[in-house]
Chains A and B, each alone.
Chain A
């Protein structure tokens, strides 16, 4: 079965650079979530989209922005990167509000800021 696809899997950037992460949800899933997970930390919710509209916002820095496109894929844009942005970034998808409680996570994009 198709899963959530994230790209790139690994990314190395310098401070103050920009980075873009992409997420392709499971087909027919209309809701996308972005989480950030630092080393040894729990996943922190950043932002979510439902039917191409932002549905909720978490602890996403102002330097970050995201959108969901007409084909339901989503992109997380990160600018003015800081060392503290080094983390695993997970995208997850669900059908609507996930009545079963299940979010399907991608394998993550590991961002390293030097």
Chain B
């Protein structure tokens, strides 16, 4: 099976940079995704890493180190609307590539 660990809560102020870490255990790693979810809303895809390195998409970047079974999501120039839950999700070849979600990190952005 797979397991993921990410912090339960992170707080920051508007305009700041925040990093949300994710460590995972899996037998046949295939890729790591990041999703954003506002209260009561649908998870929305942010980023995906299958290879080591940094992927940048606007204010959001995601990093992966397969050797360390570790990834992070970097959010820059934080805005109030970024307050949401952020989930890392691992895809495992043994699990038919179905994303398994972590417990989520609640990001609270203060003015």
Using a CB–CB distance below 8 Å, which chain A residues touch chain B? 33, 35, 41-45, 48, 55-56, 58, 88, 90, 92, 97-98, 100-108
Contacts and interface: CB of A to CB of B under 8 A. Distances in A.
B103 A42 contact: yes
Interface residues of B, number: 23
Contacts of A33: 98
B48 to A, nearest CB: 3
Contact of B97 (A88, A90, A97, A105): A97
A42 B45 contact: no
Contacts of A42: 87, 101-104
A58 B48 contact: no
A45 to B, nearest CB: 5
Given A42-B102, A43-B87, A43-B101, A105 B43 contact: yes
B108 to A, nearest CB: 15
Contacts of A92: 43
A87 to B, nearest CB: 12
B48 A106 contact: no
Interface string B35-68: 0000011111100111000000000000000000
A90 B42 contact: yes
